[in-house]
Amino acid sequence: MASAIARYEMQPMNCRLLADTAAQRSFVEKELSRLLRLPIIRKEKLSVYSFGDKSSVEKTFNVVKIRLESKDDPNSYLEIEALETEKISASHIPPPNIDISIYNKHLKGLKLADTINNDTDVSVLIGADNYYDVMTGRIKRINRKLVAAQSLYEWCLIDVSGFPNKNSSDSSVMKVVVEEDVSKQLETFWQLENLGI
């Protein structure tokens, strides 16, 4: 997880990000989008499957443009398109529950992207569509269960032993399938074909 500044025009707002390659698309909570007055670029119709469902529910989402910048360096930023959603997660996603003072020697020189005492909710989900623009691919293995991964917003701690909490009954899964209107695609194709393109 990372903390960043979400911005549109001159209005900044602190937010927490969750980067997840299992999510095909990036999402932003509607409340953050409204507070920043993010511009709606277009609408997209998606098929949303809930865990265990065999059929989908079609939903229409607003697609907004948002700028996410580093808390410490406004020149380190990414502008993305994200789908507006009511909530990123119904359950609270806390930062890793670890005593980082134990690992000070291993973390020396690494600036963390999220503070351990930051307990605000995640308001932006970075999906596979933007994941590799956010994560650099550099990692530093602290031990078998703890890894630091470098991002555009500094270093993120990934604690595989403490998340999800073994005593917790919360577990979240989401699958989104993008289904485009095939007839519109065919119409565009034939128009281009008739023009000789």
> What would the pLDDT profile of 64-91 be if each residue is shown by its tens digit?
999 998 888 888 889 999 999 999 887 7
Find where tokens 């031990």 sit.
Answer: 143
Q: What is the mean pLDDT of the chain?
A: 78
The tokens describing 79, both together, are 């502008």
* pTM of the predicted protein model: 0.72
Structural domain total, the chain: 1
The tokens describing 147, both together, are 């890894």
pLDDT digits (tens, 9 = 90+) for 44-63: 998 877 767 788 888 999 99
The tokens describing 83, both together, are 């789908």
Query: Do 138 and 42 contact (CB within 8 A), yes or no?
Result: no
User: Which range marks the domain in which residue 76 is found?
Assistant: 2-195
pLDDT score, position 171: 46
CA 154 to chain centre: 15
Residues 6+ apart with CB under 8 A from 50: 57
Query: Do 19 and 153 contact (CB within 8 A), yes or no?
Result: no
For 28-60, b/e burial (b = at least 16 CB within 10 A) is bbbebbeebebeeeeebebeeeeeeeeeeeeee
Task: List phi, psi (to 5°) of 161.
Answer: -85, -30
pLDDT digits (tens, 9 = 90+) for 159-177: 766 544 445 544 444 444 4
